[in-house]
Amino acid sequence: MASRPISILHVIDWIAERYGGPPRNVRDVAAAQAERGHRVIVLTTDRDGSRRLPESERRRLSPAPRWEVVPVPTRGPALSPSFLRRAWQLTNEVDVVHLHGIYSPPAAVAGAVALRRGVPFVQQLHGAATSYHWLQKRWKKGPWELLVQRPLIARAAAAIAMTEIEAEQGARVFPDARMRIVPPPVVDDATVSEPCDRRGGRAPTVGFLGRLSEKKGAPILLAAFARIAAEYPEARLVVAGPDDEGIGVRMRGEIERLGLSGRVSFPGMVIGREKAELVDQFDVFALPSADESFGIAVVEAMEAELPVAITEHVAIAAEVRAAGAGVVAPRTAEGFATALRQLLGSPEEARRMGAAGRRLAEQRFSRSAAMADLERVYEDAIG
């Protein structure tokens, strides 16, 4: 626990859950910090894809921390004069500013405001400096890094990465950054491990959770499932997540061609209790991702005592392999088909892996451990 309560301003482009890991991380961190007695403000925008954040979603945001949701245009940079004004006002109320994201005009503006006011700030990478993401849209990112991000992150009290791999890759992009490693708070410390028998007479189910993006590799998983479908005629595949890129639409056509209609479902984006109930139906969690700077969904699956099939591009793959919590497979249809055969064909081995994953999640990625690490980063920045 920190030696005294700290006032913290988190700044993130958007908080809508369709944007995946960073909004989830901000929500979890802010809630955990408020529970530990800190004063927390989150400055964000109302952008939700091409729409506005629904009023029902705003109401779900906890009153502690305090959420400042500023309207911005739904096209173009997530920035507006009112956002700048709120950043200027709120920065004067806190001990430290926590910026989320590095290719973010709102984070850059808030960082500049913090510098002007003499308030220490830290900047979290959220995977944007990994080798995979760094190579995307270099025509846009190159000038931004040179003119904005490198000078800003060099003045930050710390640059926060979630894993050692992310820290190493981030240091190559930003050699002047002061890298600190803080895993996200995924596992509630009140969780109690209990033996779990998932199958219970149901058809074996392979589950995927995440945005249906090229990076996440849902089509690879479908191709892998097609390879084992005849061997496991009752098996099902559930692909859950928002389909902003139209990948799910294309996959549905492929499902019909493969003769798998009725065996593959797309429940869309699931959150809260609905997500927990869906995960309870899984027997295996699979993520053929090309890049994960951490892998929150993987840790959630391990916490639920599921064996996982992932690629080496998931940053915690080495820990999963060392713990015996799942299979690290090549990012190919055949590689994941082999992994699924192993996990579905050996229920006892799958149960052992699930139990090992549960232990790994509880011991390594607990809320209290993550918050203690982050408090040390803040205290060093303030001190």
CATH of residue 296's domain is 3.40.50.2000
For residue 270, is it within any domain?
A: yes
Q: What is the pLDDT along the chain (383 residues), one digit of tens a residue?
A: 667 899 999 999 988 887 878 898 999 999 999 999 999 999 999 988 778 888 888 877 877 899 999 988 877 777 888 999 999 999 999 999 999 999 999 999 999 999 999 999 999 999 888 777 777 888 888 899 999 999 999 999 999 999 998 999 999 999 999 999 999 888 876 655 454 555 555 789 999 999 898 999 999 999 999 999 999 999 999 999 999 889 999 999 999 999 999 999 999 989 888 999 999 999 999 999 999 989 889 999 999 999 999 999 999 999 999 999 999 999 999 999 999 999 999 999 999 999 999 999 998 888 888 999 999 999 999 98
Do 128 and 266 lie in one domain? The reply is no
Query: What is the reported pLDDT for 342?
Result: 96
Do 215 and 344 lie in one domain? The reply is yes
Q: In whole angstroms, how far apart are CA 187 and each of 138, 174, 238?
A: 36, 30, 23
Residue with tokens 């999640």: 361
For residue 200, is it within any domain?
A: no
CA nearest to 91, candidates 12, 10, 149, 156: 10
Distance CA 334, CA 315 (A): 22
Do 77 and 130 lie in one domain? The reply is yes
Give the global pTM: 0.81
Do 247 and 179 lie in one domain? The reply is no
Do 14 and 160 lie in one domain? The reply is yes
For residue 192, is it within any domain?
A: no
Do 87 and 232 lie in one domain? The reply is no
ω before 65 within 30° of 0 (cis)? yes
Query: What is the reported pLDDT for 200?
Result: 55
Do 293 and 377 lie in one domain? The reply is no
Do 104 and 229 lie in one domain? The reply is no
Query: What is the reported pLDDT for 203?
Result: 84
For residue 197, is it within any domain?
A: no
For residue 1, is it within any domain?
A: no
Element containing residue 42 per DSSP (H, E): strand 39-45
For residue 138, is it within any domain?
A: yes
For residue 230, is it within any domain?
A: yes
Query: What is the reported pLDDT for 286?
Result: 98
Residue with tokens 């997530």: 78
Query: What is the reported pLDDT for 134?
Result: 76
Range of the domain at 88: 7-185+366-382
Do 356 and 223 lie in one domain? The reply is yes
Do 138 and 48 lie in one domain? The reply is yes
Distance CA 95, CA 97 (A): 7
Do 296 and 320 lie in one domain? The reply is yes
Distance CA 346, CA 334 (A): 18
Q: How many domains does the chain have?
A: 2
Distance CA 123, CA 326 (A): 32
For residue 304, is it within any domain?
A: yes
Do 128 and 156 lie in one domain? The reply is yes
Two tokens, residue 82: 């009112």
Query: What is the reported pLDDT for 228?
Result: 97
Cβ atoms 281, 235 nearer than 8 A:
no
